[in-house]
Structure 1
Amino acid sequence: MDIALIGGHGKVALLAAPLLVEAGHTVHAVIRNPDHAAEVEATGAQAVLSDIETLDAGGWDELLRGKDAVVWAAGAGGGNPARTVAVDQDAAIASMDAAQRVGAMRYVMVSYFGASLDHGIPDSEPFHAYAESKAQADAHLQRTELSWTILGPSGLTLEEPTGRIDLDAAESGTVSRGNVARTIVAALGHPGTAGKFLQYNDGEQEIGAAFGAVS
């Protein structure tokens, strides 16, 4: 597949890109800082310069035209509620709408464990903007005609990836970013994950087998 990897210089994206290339995909990693291009291209991906906060509908169409799939791994990083809404909600939704318009019908969203419109985070809490933005984006994605998968990893760590998760986890724990990268590849490789919100911690289930059993 020809994949648009949004947020191409993020920690998860940098781990996912070489795995996607190794799996035979063409990866266009979208970044806004040209200083990051060399690091991104060292993964085997092609760096694409674009500021997703400022793209209009035509810009999004141009960015995604000709792609088979979109992987959303971007995030504002917290700290600025307005920018969080602009990136994690508005830009994400704009990418979904463009993906439908141009026919990039496979869409993998990296969300988080417990993301929901019923998140219950009060407005006064710093996490509210992120929780609300991700929930709105996830809800919009589920209303589209895209072949979507939402990934809900728990608390992210820098531990070495094990290639194993707990897809049956009832409560949030932790998961390595390397394992999240592997779940992106697995989601794209297993059509049965389409239309699913998959939440997970690190665990004992081999990722490919766990995702292959989803139906």
Structure 2
Amino acid sequence: MSPLKVAVIGANGKVGRLVIKELVNDPTNFATPLAVVRSKEQQDFFQNELKIDATLTSVEHSSVSQISDAIKGYDAVIFSAGAGGKGIERIFTVDLDGCVKAMEACEAVGIKRFILVSAIKAEDRSFWWNIESLRNYYIAKRAADHEVRSSTLDYTILQPGNLTLEDSIGKFTLVKDIDERLRTDPSITRADVALFIKECLKHPKETSRKTIPLLNGDRSVNDIIKNL
């Protein structure tokens, strides 16, 4: 099989940069990825510092047609863009509508594989409704997840817990044990989210059209995927 060609939307985010690193470091399975970024400064960083392709295509301000043109010819798209705490309005224009536009762009150009980074328990309003500081964020994430599930894409929705900046542990919690783990340690390293994204791309049959909660734990990636 030819190496998979992957476009990363939100490549300049903390998770996005780690995903780029994972893909670049696995040339047997992945071609050089495309960084989809929202500023010229970010584009210059990826092109000049990391020596990889980068397109200046903001999912917030670009049309579906413009996003389609940017990702056409790729095999898979990862959506890890987010407002990053920059106001309620941008939660809806980036995390929600940006995601939907990216999904529609994939459908328009025949890209089937789509991996979305969402949030733990997004579908469960009782988990987040009373957390006022996160309510709008979760409303957007839940709606985006539902839009993706209703699409024709071979999606994987990843729902990580509290994201940390620690080094990769490489161990995860089985889906059936997530609720118990949430009570004691609701976190996962961003590096492990990036690792799991890469493994989902390598295991499309096992992970397509699935929603997978992610927390660190004591089981390998292969154990998690095998038990989905």
TM-based fold match above 0.5: yes
Match of 1:205 among 211, 215, 219: 219
Aligned to 1:135: 142
- Report the alpha carbon displacement of residue 119 of structure 1 after superposing the two structures with TM: 5.2
> Secondary structure at the residue paired with 1:104?
coil
> Separation in 2 of the partners of 1:80 and 1:70?
26
Structure ranking higher in strand proportion: 1
> Secondary structure at the residue paired with 1:165?
coil
Percent of aligned pairs with the same residue? Answer: 29
Q: Structure 1's 43 and 12: CA in aligned 2 closer, same or farther, altered over 3 A?
A: farther
Unmatched runs of 5 consecutive residues or more in structure 2: none
| Pairing of 1:83-94 with structure 2 (within 5 A) | 83-94=90-101
> Separation in 1 of the partners of 2:117 and 2:136?
17
- Report the alpha carbon displacement of residue 108 of structure 1 after superposing the two structures with TM: 0.4
Q: Structure 1's 205 and 40: CA in aligned 2 closer, same or farther, altered over 3 A?
A: farther
1:13 aligns with 2:21: no
> Secondary structure at the residue paired with 2:133?
coil
Unmatched runs of 5 consecutive residues or more in structure 1: none
> Secondary structure at the residue paired with 1:84?
helix
1:10-67 Cα offsets, whole Å, 9 max, x none, are 0011111121122232310111122223543444542211121111121122122111
> Separation in 1 of the partners of 2:89 and 2:18?
28
Structure ranking higher in helix proportion: 2
1:95-126 Cα offsets, whole Å, 9 max, x none, are 10110110111000001111116356459923
Q: TM-score, normalised by structure 2?
A: 0.87
Q: Structure 1's 124 and 163: CA in aligned 2 closer, same or farther, altered over 3 A?
A: closer
1:184 aligns with 2:197: yes
Q: Structure 1's 3 and 125: CA in aligned 2 closer, same or farther, altered over 3 A?
A: same
> Separation in 1 of the partners of 2:105 and 2:163?
29
Structure 2: which amino acid aligns with 1:183?
F
1:111 aligns with 2:111: no
Q: TM-score, normalised by structure 1?
A: 0.92
- Report the alpha carbon displacement of residue 131 of structure 1 after superposing the two structures with TM: 0.5
Q: What is the alpha-carbon root mean square deviation over aligned residues?
A: 1.9
> Separation in 1 of the partners of 2:12 and 2:65?
23
| Pairing of 1:151-190 with structure 2 (within 5 A) | 151-168=158-175, 169-170=178-179, 171-172=181-182, 173-190=186-203
- Report the alpha carbon displacement of residue 189 of structure 1 after superposing the two structures with TM: 0.7
> Secondary structure at the residue paired with 1:164?
coil
Q: Structure 1's 129 and 194: CA in aligned 2 closer, same or farther, altered over 3 A?
A: same
> Secondary structure at the residue paired with 1:100?
helix
